[in-house]
Amino acid sequence: SPNRLAPSDGNNSQHCPDGGTWDDSVEDEDGGLGTCVLTWAVPGTNITDSETITIRFDGNNAGYYDCNRFAHANVEPYLVVWNWQPKHSGIVTLGDNNQCSVDQGGLVVNGSSGVHSASGVAGPVKEDWLVGVAGGEIPWLGTVKLMLSGSGSPGTQYVPGSSFLFLSLVIGGIIFAPIGLEITLKKIMQKSPEMHQAKYEFDHFSEEE
């Protein structure tokens, strides 16, 4: 049951101390307006009573987010999440300066006011909130790392099949590239004037003996 004493602009934890997502437009069992949604159903699918729903953009119907536009404040028609209340409000990086108004304050991108939380403009995240850190990887060689990961890793479950193909091509290239390079260099050297001169001198020296 929702907490009816919570302020109207309170977050999920205040409205739904026992869990759930606060929806102020649906009537609750107690007759009051506003309820805590515990499970979800997706119209047009066989998904019912699901505690979590994952939304994936297929790249075709995802809309268009123009990073070159001057500002996005309250006028962006695509990729909008309304009433989003993150568990921990915070920004991972403050140095992108990509004109997308995501991690930049109003002083950096004119027309934008940064990302807000209940306590004001969101600042950097705390170190103990982090669950992982992205790192640079040579393309496709990261698959090997996933193969050798421990039990706490999903392994290669989510690795696309094309990654294994390109990984094999990379390994094959590393193995056979030196062989091909050696053959090519030998052919080039054999056609060089120095090799012809060396062969001529060797043959001439053999005739004199």
106 with 71: CB under 8 angstroms?
no
Per-residue pLDDT tens for 91-135? 665 454 444 544 444 444 444 445 555 555 556 677 777 766 666
Per-residue pLDDT tens for 1-38? 788 888 888 888 888 888 888 888 888 888 888 898 88
159 with 146: CB under 8 angstroms?
yes
Return the structure tokens found at 35.
Answer: 């309820």
Q: pTM (2 decimals)?
A: 0.31
CA distance 67 to 45: 33
Domain boundaries, the chain: 1-54, 61-77+87-131, 135-209
CA distance 201 to 189: 16
CA distance 64 to 80: 11
